Copies of this chain bind each other. A is one copy, B any other.
Amino acid sequence: MARPREFDETAAVESAMHAFWTHGYEATSTQDLCAATGLGRSSVYNTFTSKKALFHRTLTHYSGQGLAGRKAILESPGTATERIAAMFDALVDDELEHGRRGCLVVNTLAELGTPDDEIGEALRRDTEKQLALLAECAREGVLDGSLRPGRDPADVAEFLLSTISGLRVMSRRGASGEAMHAVADLALSAIAR
């Protein structure tokens, strides 16, 4: 072995993540990334190869964290309806507390679409996992009687993810917490028993 790193790689990824999150992919320059992480250019390129590779790293980190948090909420005790309501509450709270950054995945989808590269693949994978998580919850809701039966759980999952995306966009445009809660409540009323 040789000279050791003078920084924490995960911390650097998180700093870069916030830079990309608030300013978007294109508008975040490599200089911005150096400033955000506190690293020199050499360290950034030596560790992360390229801007795009660092963004990909950032995206998978974000996705992993987000999915873990959502999974924790959707697999907590209570009826499926209660858990979905808690998920919406957490989303709104998060937006109000952290300055309406929206969702990195949604922001990236809107800015870049679904590119035919590893970025697009990361976006697709995140979407699939979110849908799987939500569909499972929809199935449980029918069993525990808190969700209306008769709908395809996959459709319910798509509806919930669409509502989540809608709320993220709402937050991005500065909508009030009350308005966001009202939207979540209406969405819930479409599927709750």
Contacts and interface: CB of A to CB of B under 8 A. Distances in A.
Given A106-B110, A190-B189, A159 B182 contact: yes
A182 B155 contact: yes
Given A110-B110, A186-B156, A162 B167 contact: yes
Greatest chain B CB density within 10 A among A167, A169, A190 is at A169
Contact of A169 (B27, B106, B112, B189): B106
Contacts of A109: 110, 169, 172-173
B158 A170 contact: yes
A180 to B, nearest CB: 8
Contacts of A119: none
Interface residues of A, number: 45
Contacts of A174: 114, 124
A163 B127 CA distance: 17
Interface in A69-88: none
Interface string A165-193: 11101101111000100110011011100
Given A27-B26, A162-B167, A155 B114 contact: no
Interface in A52-96: none
A182 B114 CA distance: 22
Given A169-B162, A190-B186, A191-B186, A111 B110 contact: yes
Nearest to A24: B111
A112 B191 CA distance: 33
Contact of A183 (B106, B123, B158): B158
A40 interface: no
Interface of A: 22, 24, 26-27, 100, 102, 106-107, 109-114, 123-124, 127, 151-152, 154-156, 158-159, 161-167, 169-170, 172-175, 179, 182-183, 186-187, 189-191
